[in-house]
């Protein structure tokens, strides 16, 4: 255990692990929140107005 | 950009109101902001992230070199944090620049499309900027032996930039008249973006010393693997930024759709009210 | 002496200056009646100077050395109050509509309100200057630099403050949002003015006039920007 | 004939709106207003709370942007987004809202003098306003903060009078006035119309018959323009502008009802 701690101190592994995990977790959490917000909102909007669903005809194109 | 570019100024089509109500088939609406393009983008990002991790932790060497008098100096393993720190920083700046650009175009063309781009980009920029600051602080401890260095230009500038755009998002989160909000937010964003060079200059003059690598690439004693890892980092963050931007843009667009839908219903209700009253009298 | 016959005289420079002057006089008259600056903001600024002395353990060397920075932090804090007050004056009974309905360009309103805040802060700075000399033992070695830094830096604070305050004037949360938006934007002023004062008070070996240039560029940028966008900031929807 | 009618449309309509929709936030305060007001006409606007009366007035004052519709106010096309045009439009209206827009720390005299300077009115106009609203020297020298609500209202009205507006937009001018103040205001309204100004007056009270008939009733009282609610907007537009092109005498008045943010024809 102490050896592991010493190794951490020597190689900066603790800083590395903390930096990478906090950084990636933050971005991941944000991405998730965007997806959740999108899901909640898209339930309230008709399919015809979600144009990135490119399988659907773009009926509002003319207007 | 991909699909959403087709959507031009969603506000300027009140004429489509009638058939919108006729359809009104909300029950079978889609339940995500994803599309084929973003799925590919998303998987590419994740795969790239795995590659980046492999390169950052295994393939790239630690940073150390021998000076003339035989001492071994360098950042050693801490350099591996830079493969996250530097790309996040670069794309935070890209995001804020895009916010500034979007705001200028919004004020010029008054198309809500660009307002959504500006807003979305600012939000992602704040997240990336936060990650930059966090990893910077964690990196500074082993390498500079200090969490924070006020004499350093970039770190101070980045913190200020972070705060400026936190303020921008705070302004946008207060509900108010939508067009006035979009207009004033654009002004705030442009001022914020213009502030970057001013803050940078003034902090640099403030203390004429800096701990920061004048140019990170130069200092890193460019070994092929190191450079390659950094490039992979840029690519991954580029993909990530694009993925986030598209999804966040669609959220903004959906939010406006909901608002427009509410508006059309309110308009219909109000007209019915008017007709009812006319009938009564 | 043109009347309201819809000539575009409201765009002339003289017209703008005249309206700014009227707004300035009106706000000063209100200040003379209500004494908010004199009775509330000035004592607060002096109080801030005192708080710094307590926080820094009343150490006279430290206080003298940091007098320039403490001076400008006190100014910034008081400026928040002065700017908030300036907007509140127009918000109480929808008097902002008078400006919209008036025949002068919005630029005049921007200049007028900026001028009001500038004047009030300059008065405040005279008191604070006496404060740092008496309380902190600061010594004025370059009076000209001291005065010109005050005027130029305060112009920047006043113009940026007016711009931000009006941009958020319609929001219910404007009192809490204003510091968050304004303070980061004013960091260059804080740095520049502190350095220039360091020269003027003889505590820092820098060229204060160079910093004055930065302050001038800042003020000019905000005055131009304000003149450009103020019209759209005043609009309601 | 055609030419005469065209000239009439161009010259005589102080306000002409078609299917006007105005949003406050995302609420359609006006849901489709069709309204024609001829120069020199007094139009009383009535309607329940939230019917959109204040919004209609603020729009006519050039203070609000619209969502859809078309028309002109005092000859300014409402679609013209140019800020100079907008400014000229605004300087020609006199708008009295719910607020008095006076500084409580200044005296009535100082407030009026400041207003006069903002719109570059002459001192004579200010004096005229003071006389018409019967503001005493004593009242003028008092801080607005210590005036009564009715007195403040009169000062605010004097602030409208001194602008010598072409279009008067009065939001419940009778509010908090005593009977003497009311008759004073009523007389002011009629005189302004006779002098060629156009008035749009929001009122909650039933408009007194003697007011509506204070002017020669033979000249098209009431049936000149306003008609049609929003949903029938397109057909109403035709009849409204074409139907009754009878010039009205200055000072003729009519009543218009507003509900659900739309005008419906009355009488």
- Report if residue B28 sits inside a domain: no
- Rounded-to-integer distance, Cα D161 and Cα C118, Å: 34
What percent of chain B lies above the pLDDT cut of 70?
Answer: 76
Q: How is chain B split among helix, strand and coil, in percent rounded to 5? A: 80, 5, 20
- CB count within 10 Å of CB B25 equals 10
Q: Is the Cβ of B31 closer than 8 Å to some Cβ of chain A? A: yes
ipTM of the modeled complex: 0.84
Residues in B closer than 8 angstroms to A57, CB to CB, are none
- Work out the average pLDDT over D251-266: 76
Report DSSP state, residue C11: G
Mutate to test the interface with C, among B11, B172, B187 (most CBs of C within 10 A): B187
**Model confidence band, residue A61 (pLDDT cutoffs 50, 70, 90):** very low
Residue C17 covered by a domain: yes
Pick from B271, A57, A7, D123: nearest CA to C1: D123
Q: Which domain holds residue C160?
A: 12-234
Domain assignment present for C137: yes
Asked whether residue C2 is domain-assigned, the answer is: no
Res C80: pLDDT: 96
User: Above 90 in pLDDT, residue C115?
Assistant: yes
pLDDT at B18 over 70: no
Question: What is the per-residue pLDDT for B148?
Answer: 84
Q: Would you place residue D114 in the very low, low, confident or very high pLDDT band (cuts 50, 70, 90)?
A: very high
Q: How confident is the model at residue C121 (pLDDT cuts 50, 70, 90)?
A: very high
Q: Which long-range contacts (CB under 8 A, 24 or more apart) does C67-70 make?
A: C67/C132, C67/C136, C67/C137, C67/C138, C67/C197, C67/C201, C67/C203, C68/C138, C68/C193, C68/C194, C68/C195, C68/C197, C68/C198, C68/C200, C68/C201, C68/C203, C68/C204, C69/C190, C69/C194, C70/C132, C70/C136
- Is position A36 within any domain? yes
Domain-embedded: residue C102: yes
Token pair for residue B180? 């006035």
pLDDT at A11 exceeding the cut of 90: no
Show residues of chain D in contact with C93, CB under 8 Å: 99-104
* Residue C143 dihedral angles phi and psi, to the nearest 5°: -60, -40
> What is the predicted pLDDT for the residue at D208?
60
The number of distinct structural domains making up chain A is: 1
pLDDT 10s digits, B87-111: 999 999 999 999 999 999 999 988 8
Tell me the β-bridge partners of B73: B65
* Residue B172 falls inside a structural domain: yes
Say whether residue B173 is in contact with chain C using an 8 A CB cutoff: no
pLDDT of D126 reads: 93
pLDDT tens per residue across span D70-79: 999 999 999 9
pLDDT of residue A44: 82
Q: For C9-38, what is the mean pLDDT?
A: 89
Q: How far is CA D18 from its chain centroid?
A: 17
Confidence of residue B195 (pLDDT cuts 50, 70, 90): confident
Would B31 be classed as within a structural domain?
no
> Which has more confidence, D6 or B261?
B261
- The chains found to touch D (3+ Cβ pairs under 8 angstroms) are B, C
Tell whether the model's pLDDT for residue B63 goes beyond 60: yes
The pLDDT confidence band at residue D110, using thresholds 50, 70 and 90, is very high
Q: What's the whole-number average pLDDT of chain C?
A: 90
H or E element in which residue D35 lies: strand D27-38
CA distance D172 to D163: 19
Do chain C and chain A touch with ≥3 beta carbon pairs under 8 Å?
A: no
Own/partner pairs, D173-181, CB within 8 angstroms, 24+ separation: D173/D96, D173/D201, D173/D203, D174/D203, D174/D205, D175/D98, D176/D149, D176/D150, D177/D150, D177/D153, D178/D150, D180/D134, D181/D150, D181/D153, D181/D154
So what's the pLDDT on residue B275? 82
Give chain C positions within 8 Å (CB) of D95: 97, 101
pLDDT digits (tens, 9 = 90+) for B198-209: 777 777 776 654
What pLDDT does D225 receive?
A: 34
The 3 state secondary structure assigned to D199-221 is EEEECCCCCCHHHHCCCCCCCCC
* In a domain? residue C88: yes
**D232 or D65, which is more confident?**
D65
pLDDT in tens, D42-64: 999 988 888 889 999 999 999 99
Contacts of C173 in chain B (CB under 8 A): 174
Q: Cα separation of D200 and D214, whole Å?
A: 16
What residues make up the domain containing B121?
37-63+71-280
As a whole number, mean pLDDT of residues C115-130 equals 96
Residue A17: pLDDT band (50, 70, 90) is: confident
With respect to residue C4, please indicate whether it lies within any of the assigned structural domains.
Answer: no
* Two structure tokens written together for D214: 């204070």
Q: Which domains does chain D have, with CATH numbers?
A: 2-92+166-264 (3.40.50.300), 103-164 (no CATH)
- In chain C, how many domains are there? 1
User: Average pLDDT of chain D?
Assistant: 80
Cβ neighbours of residue C185 closer than 8 Å, sequence gap 6 or more: B164, B191, B192, B195, C160, C164
- Indicate if the pLDDT at residue D142 is higher than 90: yes
Of the candidate ranges B103-117, B265-279, C192-206, D198-212, the one whose mean pLDDT is the lowest? D198-212
Whether the per-residue pLDDT at D231 is higher than 70: the answer is: no
- A7 found inside a domain: yes
Q: For residue B12, tell me if it sits in a domain.
A: no
Whether residue C68 lies inside any domain: the answer is: yes
| pLDDT confidence bin for D89, thresholds 50/70/90 | very high
- A27 occurs within a structural domain: yes
Kind of pairing, strands D68-73 and D262-264? unpaired
Is B55 in contact with B228 (CB distance < 8 Å)?
yes
Could you give the CA distance from residue C42 to residue C21 in angstroms, rounded to a whole number?
24
In a domain, A45, yes or no: no
The reported pLDDT for the residue numbered B73 is 61
Residue C7 — pLDDT band, cuts 50, 70, 90?
Answer: very low
- In this structure, how many other beta carbons lie within 10 angstroms of the beta carbon of residue A56? 13
pLDDT in tens, C164-190: 999 998 888 888 999 999 999 999 899
Any B CB within 8 A of D65 CB:
yes
pLDDT bracket for residue B226 (50, 70, 90) = confident
How does residue D66 score in pLDDT terms, banded at 50, 70 and 90? very high
| pLDDT given at position B36 | 78
Touch between chain C and chain D: 3 or more Cβ pairs under 8 Å = yes
Residue D267 has pLDDT above 60, yes or no: no
Residue-number span of the structural domain to which A28 is assigned: 2-40
In a domain, A53, yes or no: no
Mean pLDDT, range D133-152, rounded to an integer = 94
Q: A23: which chain B residues are within 8 Å (Cβ-Cβ)? A: 84-85, 88, 131, 134-135
Q: Is the pLDDT of residue B1 over 60?
A: no
């Amino acid at each position: 255990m102490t050896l592991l701690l010493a190794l951490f101190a020597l190689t900066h592994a603790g800083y590395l692990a903390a930096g990478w995990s906090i950084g990636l977790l933050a971005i991941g959490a944000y991405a998730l929140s965007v997806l959740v917000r999108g899901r909640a909102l898209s339930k309230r909007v008709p399919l015809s107005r979600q144009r990135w669903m490119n399988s659907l005809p773009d009926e509002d194109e003319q207007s | 950009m991909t699909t959403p570019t087709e959507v031009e100024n969603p506000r300027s089509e009140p004429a489509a109101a009638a058939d919108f109500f006729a359809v009104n088939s909300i029950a079978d609406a889609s339940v995500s902001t994803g599309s084929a393009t973003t799925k590919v983008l998303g998987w590419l990002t994740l795969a790239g992230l795995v590659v980046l991790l492999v390169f950052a932790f295994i393939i790239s060497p630690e940073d150390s070199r021998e000076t003339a008098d035989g001492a071994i100096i360098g950042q050693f393993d801490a350099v591996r944090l830079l493969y996250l720190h530097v790309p996040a920083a670069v794309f935070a700046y890209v995001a804020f620049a895009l916010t500034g650009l979007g705001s200028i175009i919004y004020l010029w063309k008054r198309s809500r499309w660009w307002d959504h781009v500006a807003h979305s980009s600012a939000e992602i920029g704040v997240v990336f900027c936060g990650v930059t600051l966090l990893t910077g602080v964690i990196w500074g401890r082993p390498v500079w032996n200090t969490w924070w260095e006020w004499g350093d230009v970039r770190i101070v500038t980045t913190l200020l930039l972070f705060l400026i755009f936190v303020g921008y998002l705070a302004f946008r989160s207060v509900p108010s008249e939508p067009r006035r909000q979009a207009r004033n937010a654009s002004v705030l964003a442009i001022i914020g973006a213009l502030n970057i060079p001013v803050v940078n200059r003034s902090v640099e003059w403030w203390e004429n010393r800096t701990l920061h690598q004048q140019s990170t690439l130069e200092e890193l004693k460019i070994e092929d693997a190191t450079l390659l890892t950094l490039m992979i980092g840029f690519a991954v963050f580029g993909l990530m930024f694009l993925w986030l931007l598209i999804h966040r843009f669609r959220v903004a667009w959906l939010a406006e759709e909901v608002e427009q839908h509410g508006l059309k219903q309110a308009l219909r209700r109000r007209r019915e009210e008017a007709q009812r009253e006319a009938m009564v009298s | 002496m043109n009347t309201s016959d819809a000539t575009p005289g409201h765009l002339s420079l003289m017209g703008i200056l005249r309206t700014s002057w009227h707004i300035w006089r009106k706000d000063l008259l209100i200040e003379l009646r209500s004494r908010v600056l004199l009775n509330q903001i000035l004592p607060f600024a002096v109080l801030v100077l005192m708080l710094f002395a307590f926080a820094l353990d009343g150490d006279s060397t430290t206080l003298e050395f940091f007098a320039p920075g403490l001076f400008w932090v006190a100014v910034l804090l008081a400026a928040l109050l002065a700017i908030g007050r300036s907007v509140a004056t127009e918000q109480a009974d929808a008097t902002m509509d008078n400006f919209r309905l008036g025949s002068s360009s919005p630029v005049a309103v921007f200049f007028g309100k900026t001028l009001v805040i500038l004047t009030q802060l300059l008065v405040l700075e005279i008191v604070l200057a006496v404060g740092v000399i008496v309380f902190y033992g600061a010594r004025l070695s370059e009076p000209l630099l001291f005065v010109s830094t005050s005027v130029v830096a305060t112009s920047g604070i006043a113009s940026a403050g007016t711009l931000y305050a009006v941009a958020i004037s319609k929001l219910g949360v404007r009192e809490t949002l204003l510091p968050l938006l304004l303070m980061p934007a004013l960091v260059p002023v804080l740095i520049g003015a502190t350095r220039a004062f360091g020269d003027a008070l003889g505590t820092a070996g820098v060229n204060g006039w160079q910093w004055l240039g930065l302050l001038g560029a800042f003020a000019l940028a905000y005055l131009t920007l304000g003149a450009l966008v103020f019209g759209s900031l005043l609009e309601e929807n | 004939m055609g030419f005469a009618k065209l000239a009439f449309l161009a010259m005589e309509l102080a306000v002409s709106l078609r299917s006007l929709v105005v949003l406050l936030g995302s609420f359609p305060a006006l849901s489709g207003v069709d309204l024609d007001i001829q120069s020199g006409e007094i139009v009383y606007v009535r309607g329940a709370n939230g019917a959109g009366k204040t919004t209609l007035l603020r729009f006519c004052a050039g203070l609000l942007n619209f969502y859809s519709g078309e028309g002109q106010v005092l000859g300014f096309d409402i679609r013209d987004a140019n800020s100079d045009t907008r400014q000229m439009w605004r300087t020609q209206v006199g708008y009295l809202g719910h607020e008095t827009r006076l500084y409580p720390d200044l005296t009535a005299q100082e407030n009026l003098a400041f207003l006069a300077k903002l719109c570059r009115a002459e001192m004579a106009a200010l004096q005229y306003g003071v006389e018409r609203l019967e503001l005493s020297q004593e009242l003028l020298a008092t801080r607005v903060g210590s005036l009564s609500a009715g007195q403040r209202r009169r000062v605010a009205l004097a602030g409208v009078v001194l602008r010598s507006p072409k279009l008067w937009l009065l939001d419940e001018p009778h509010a908090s006035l005593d009977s003497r103040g009311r008759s004073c205001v009523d007389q002011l309204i009629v005189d302004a119309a006779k002098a060629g100004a156009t008035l749009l007056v929001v009122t909650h009270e039933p408009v007194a018959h003697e007011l509506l008939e204070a002017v020669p009733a033979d000249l098209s009282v009431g049936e000149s323009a306003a008609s049609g609610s929003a949903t029938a907007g397109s057909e109403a537009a035709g009849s409204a502008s074409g139907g009754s092109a009878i010039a009205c005498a200055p000072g003729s008045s009519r009543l218009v009802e507003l509900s659900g943010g739309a005008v419906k024809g009355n009488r």
